[in-house]
């Protein structure tokens, strides 16, 4: 799949933002007043900024409100509802914490739950697609949720918890890569089933046009295996390894904490780039671009 | 609405004969023409006369080389447009309701004024049947020429999809695949019509007729070979004398010194 910058930014930032909202909702840390204001500004900046970035890749952003209508069948529509609900409920919680100095526990927990479900609905937009076997696996929601929660814990300053959750998320990340690498061949879809021209060998002889097209640009992105392996190491190192080291450093202060966040963010973006760039859409088979 | 109808009264669709298609791309052009001049946003081109031309097409023809387990290699031309799937994943993922499947005839359409151009439906289609128009920012797909097949302003023989009407080889057939007695259903029955990517669970309405196995003609060549042998080995007459005389000249075929440099 084409790794569109707007989608990478959207899913990375909003995942982090909603992850932080989960922790603020359950009172980790139990902040009020000015400190709370700063935390909420960061959380809303990430979540809302991410959502806004997602509208950049729309052909008609001015009609975005129509995306609320099909929640019965569409995960994208559900995501729209859930994100707005999470942001509204958490706004009430934030208002009480910042201006009234009071913690509305029930509201907070509801907002935290909604934030979690929002991230889940985002992950299901990808996980539901049978056309992209690498995404079409139960580990996809686990991967995106674990990353979001770990990043949230990191931003919320939950040192030990964050280190634990990052380690967990790293394990899920590796498993998602492992399962993903064989997903296309396990899916049973290949050029033979795509064309119905088997048994025997089928080879793409000539594409429909000499030039490129929307399908090739959007769905057929080929990353070299060596290149991908290098990027995976970078994602693991910056996204998970270094932040955990920084957090566990005895007497880790704000500087190391900030370094951990920056490093995680960099690793997260690389991981998300790979999430898209490595995902093989089965339509590539018709163009002889996939070896299944 | 992006909920799929439980059943449709008809299952209108195409039957594409891979044995007959000659790969002329006439259907590609007629489809582009009809759908640019008629319903909905025109199918735009970018840099059409430049170095890197691209454009929106609702129907594209691939070519594949196949080598059956027993039989000689074959070239198969493979037209592909929307298959108007019964379990259309492109419809259910659409957040706006712009994509829908009609209960009356099963045609899958996009209401362009509702489409936000998110592209998710194209992600969900395994066949590459949907393309986002780069100029209009809305999703385009085969309409089964819904503005022809019910169009009373057209002469009756034109009330079929443009690609079917134009195909010079008669490789595309249009009809109701929900009616077992229809001509298209009979054709599918007789020729072993098949689904593309059945494992994706989309239940396509369009069917493809497999290419007929080709005869292995290598053996036939052998049986005819004896007939191609020279009828007379020792020649006589004027031309025979001339042939030999020329051979004897310096540089002639039988000159051992000069020949075969
Ligand atoms: S071929 Fe693709 S676009 Fe057409 S109905 Fe099936 S899934 Fe949808
Ligand atoms: S591109 Fe348009 S038709 Fe396709 S899913 Fe998005 S809103 Fe629906
Ligand atoms: S039925 Fe009409 S829209 Fe569909 S491929 Fe044929 S000409 Fe194009």
Q: How far apart are the first and last CA of chain B?
A: 80
- The shortest C-alpha distance from A166 to chain B (Å) reads 31
User: Sign of dihedral through CA atoms A277, A282, A284, A290?
Assistant: positive
pLDDT tens sequence across A53-75 = 888 889 999 999 999 999 999 99
What local confidence, expressed as pLDDT, does residue A142 receive? 98
Mean pLDDT, residues A245-268 taken together: 90
Task: Decide: B72 and B207 in contact? Cβ < 8 Å.
Answer: no
What local confidence, expressed as pLDDT, does residue B182 receive? 97
- Which residue's structure tokens are 């076997």? A133
Alpha carbon distances (Å) from B260 to A259, B199, B243, B245:
81, 63, 18, 18
pTM, 2 dp: 0.89
CA–CA separation, B129 and B106 (whole Å): 16
> What 3-state class would DSSP assign to B123?
helix
Mean pLDDT, residues A130-138 taken together: 97
Question: Is residue A292 very low, low, confident or very high in pLDDT (cuts 50, 70, 90)?
Answer: very low
B246 touches chain A (CB under 8 A): no
Pocket test for ligand 1, best of B127, B128, B177, B200 (most atoms within 8 A of CB): B127
What local confidence, expressed as pLDDT, does residue A199 receive? 85
Task: Decide: A197 and A282 in contact? Cβ < 8 Å.
Answer: no
Mean pLDDT, residues B159-171 taken together: 97
Whether B237 has a pLDDT exceeding 90, the answer reads no
pLDDT tens sequence across B57-103 = 999 999 999 998 888 899 999 999 999 999 999 999 999 999 999 99
Percentage of chain A exceeding pLDDT 90: 86
Mean pLDDT, residues A263-278 taken together: 96
Q: Rounded mean pLDDT of chain A?
A: 94
Taking contacts as CB-CB distances below 8 angstroms, the residues of chain A near B139 are 59
Of A138-147, A227-236, A245-254, B35-44, the poorest mean pLDDT is in A245-254
Question: Is residue B213 very low, low, confident or very high in pLDDT (cuts 50, 70, 90)?
Answer: confident
What local confidence, expressed as pLDDT, does residue B228 receive? 67
Task: Decide: B51 and B244 in contact? Cβ < 8 Å.
Answer: no
Query: A64: number of CA atoms within 13 Å, CB side?
Result: 13
Of A87-91, B151-155, B224-228, the poorest mean pLDDT is in B224-228
B183 touches chain A (CB under 8 A): no
Tokens describing residue B242: 């001339």
Question: Is residue A226 very low, low, confident or very high in pLDDT (cuts 50, 70, 90)?
Answer: confident
Question: Is residue A254 very low, low, confident or very high in pLDDT (cuts 50, 70, 90)?
Answer: confident
Residues with CB under 6 A from ligand 2: B 93-94, 96, 98-99, 110, 115-121, 139
Residues with CB under 6 A from ligand 1: B 82-85, 88-90, 108, 125, 127, 129-130, 141, 202
Task: Decide: A170 and A241 in contact? Cβ < 8 Å.
Answer: yes
Whether B253 has a pLDDT exceeding 60, the answer reads no
β-sheet bridge partners, residue B100:
B109
Whether A52 has a pLDDT exceeding 90, the answer reads no
Of A228, A227, A263, give the one whose Cα is nearest residue A244: A263
Whether B259 has a pLDDT exceeding 50, the answer reads no
Q: What is the ipTM of this complex?
A: 0.93
Whether B251 has a pLDDT exceeding 80, the answer reads no
Whether A103 has a pLDDT exceeding 60, the answer reads yes
B12-209 CATH fold: Alpha-Beta Plaits (3.30.70)
Closest ligand to the CA of B32: 3
CA–CA separation, A164 and A174 (whole Å): 16
CA–CA separation, A251 and A220 (whole Å): 48
> What 3-state class would DSSP assign to B99?
strand
What local confidence, expressed as pLDDT, does residue A9 receive? 87
Taking contacts as CB-CB distances below 8 angstroms, the residues of chain A near B41 are none
Q: Return the higher-pLDDT residue of B237 and B50.
A: B50
Q: Provide CATH 3.30.70.20 ranges for chain B.
A: 12-209
Distance B69 CA to ligand 1 centre (A): 31
β-sheet bridge partners, residue B76:
B64
Whether B254 has a pLDDT exceeding 60, the answer reads no
Mean pLDDT, residues A137-142 taken together: 98
Tokens describing residue B131: 């393309």
Mean pLDDT, residues A77-86 taken together: 96
pLDDT tens sequence across A175-207 = 999 999 999 999 999 999 999 998 889 999 999
CA–CA separation, A255 and B227 (whole Å): 93
What local confidence, expressed as pLDDT, does residue B39 receive? 86
B68 contacts: CB under 8 Å, gap ≥ 6: A199, A200, B74, B213
Whether A252 has a pLDDT exceeding 90, the answer reads no
What local confidence, expressed as pLDDT, does residue B258 receive? 45
Task: Decide: B159 and B149 in contact? Cβ < 8 Å.
Answer: yes
DSSP one-letter string for chain A: ----HHHHHHHHHHHHHHHHHHHHHTTSS---HHHHHHHHHHHHHHHHHHHHHHHTT-S-GGGGGGGGTTTTT-HHHHHHHHHHHHHHHHHHHHHHHHHS----HHHHHHHHHHHHHHHHHHHHHHHT-TTSTTTSSTHHHHHHHHHHHHHHHHHTT-HHHHHHHHHHHHHHHHHHHHHHHTHHHHHT--HHHHHT--SSEEEEEE-S-SS--HHHHHH-----HHHHHHHHHHHHIIIIIHHHHHHHSTT--HHHHHHHHHHHHHHHHHHHHHHHHTPPPGGGGGGT----
CA–CA separation, A38 and A230 (whole Å): 36
Question: Is residue B222 very low, low, confident or very high in pLDDT (cuts 50, 70, 90)?
Answer: low
What local confidence, expressed as pLDDT, does residue B225 receive? 62
- Which residue's structure tokens are 């995960």? A75
> What 3-state class would DSSP assign to B49?
coil
Whether A7 has a pLDDT exceeding 80, the answer reads yes
CA–CA separation, A172 and A142 (whole Å): 7
Task: Decide: B74 and B214 in contact? Cβ < 8 Å.
Answer: yes
Atom 5 (ligand 2) nearest CA: B94
Whether B22 has a pLDDT exceeding 50, the answer reads yes
């Amino acid at each position: 799949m084409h790794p569109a910058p707007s989608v990478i930014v959207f899913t990375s930032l909003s995942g982090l933002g909603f992850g932080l909202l989960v922790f603020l909702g359950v009172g980790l840390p139990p902040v009020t007043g000015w400190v709370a204001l700063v935390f909420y500004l960061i959380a809303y900046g990430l979540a809302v900024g991410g959502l806004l970035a997602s509208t950049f890749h729309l052909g008609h952003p001015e009609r975005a409100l129509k995306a609320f209508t099909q929640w019965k069948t569409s995960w994208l529509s559900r995501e729209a509802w859930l994100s707005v609900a999470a942001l509204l409920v958490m706004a009430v919680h934030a208002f009480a914490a910042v201006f009234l100095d009071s913690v509305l526990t029930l509201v907070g927990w509801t907002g935290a739950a909604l934030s979690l479900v929002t991230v889940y609905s985002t992950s299901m937009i990808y996980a539901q697609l049978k056309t992209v076997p690498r995404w079409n696996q139960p580990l996809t929601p686990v991967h995106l949720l674990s990353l979001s929660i770990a990043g949230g814990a990191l931003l919320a300053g939950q040192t030990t918890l964050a280190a634990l959750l990052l380690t967990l998320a790293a394990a899920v990340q590796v498993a998602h890569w492992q399962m993903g690498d064989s997903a296309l061949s396990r899916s049973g879809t290949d050029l033979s089933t795509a064309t119905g021209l088997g048994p025997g060998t089928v080879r793409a002889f000539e594409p429909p046009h000499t030039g490129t097209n929307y399908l090739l640009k959007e769905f057929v992105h080929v990353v070299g295996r060596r290149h991908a392996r290098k990027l995976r190491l970078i994602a693991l190192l910056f996204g998970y390894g270094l932040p955990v080291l920084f957090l566990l450093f005895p007497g880790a202060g704000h500087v190391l904490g900030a370094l951990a966040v920056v490093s995680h963010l960099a690793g997260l973006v690389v991981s998300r780039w790979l999430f898209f760039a490595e995902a093989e859409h089965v339509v590539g088979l018709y163009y002889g671009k996939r070896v299944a | 609405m992006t909920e799929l109808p439980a059943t449709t009264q008809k299952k209108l669709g195409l039957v594409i004969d891979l044995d007959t298609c000659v790969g002329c791309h006439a259907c590609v052009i007629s489809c582009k023409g009809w759908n640019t001049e008629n319903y909905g946003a025109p199918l735009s081109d970018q840099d059409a006369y430049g170095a890197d031309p691209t454009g929106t097409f609702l129907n594209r023809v691939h070519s594949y080389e196949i080598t059956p387990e027993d039989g000689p290699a074959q070239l198969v031309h493979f037209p592909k447009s929307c298959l108007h799937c019964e379990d259309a994943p492109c419809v259910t993922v659409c957040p706006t309701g712009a994509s829908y499947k009609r209960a009356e005839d099963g045609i899958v359409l996009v209401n362009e004024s509702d489409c936000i151009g998110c592209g998710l439906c194209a992600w969900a289609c395994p066949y590459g049947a949907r393309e986002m128009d780069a100029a209009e920012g809305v999703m385009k797909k085969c309409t089964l020429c819904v503005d022809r097949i019910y169009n009373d302003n057209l002469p009756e023989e034109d009330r079929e999809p443009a690609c079917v009407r134009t195909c010079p080889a008669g490789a595309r057939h249009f009809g109701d695949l929900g009616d077992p007695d229809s001509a298209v259903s009979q054709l599918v029955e007789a020729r072993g019509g098949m689904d593309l990517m059945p494992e994706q669970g989309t239940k396509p309405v369009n069917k493809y007729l497999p290419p007929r196995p080709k005869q292995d003609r290598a053996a036939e060549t052998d049986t005819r070979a004896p007939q191609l042998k020279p009828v007379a080995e020792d020649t006589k007459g004027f031309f025979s004398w001339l042939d030999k005389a020329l051979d004897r000249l310096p540089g002639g075929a039988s000159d051992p010194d000069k020949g075969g440099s």
